[in-house]
């Protein structure tokens, strides 16, 4: 194993071959690359405001006698 990878990867038991270590490093590198790609994809696409619900923009319209004047006074609608 190279000197720059010795602090990142340590074999606890057994004696793996260089090919086995290379396979482990390749799988871990691919997993990290995929996680970075997913994180970049999630932060680069802002949510559009075109899909906001109209219900969030205003309250319900209540019909009836005196509702136009009551709508300007809080607590009377």
Question: What's the pLDDT tens digit per position in 17-76?
Answer: 989 988 988 998 899 999 988 888 776 666 677 766 665 666 666 777 877 776 676 665
Cβ pair 16, 9 in contact under 8 A: no
Around 10, how many Cα atoms within 13 Å sit in the side-chain half-sphere? Answer: 2
* pLDDT range class, residue 77, cuts 50, 70, 90: very low
**pTM, entire model:** 0.46
């Amino acid at each position: 194993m190279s000197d720059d990878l010795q602090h990142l990867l340590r074999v606890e038991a057994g004696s793996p071959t260089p090919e086995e270590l290379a396979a482990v490093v390749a799988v871990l590198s691919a997993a990290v690359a995929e996680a970075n790609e997913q994180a970049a994809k999630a932060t680069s696409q802002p949510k559009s405001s075109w899909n906001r619900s109209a219900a969030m923009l205003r309250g319900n319209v209540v019909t009836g006698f005196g509702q136009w004047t009551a709508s300007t006074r809080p607590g009377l609608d």
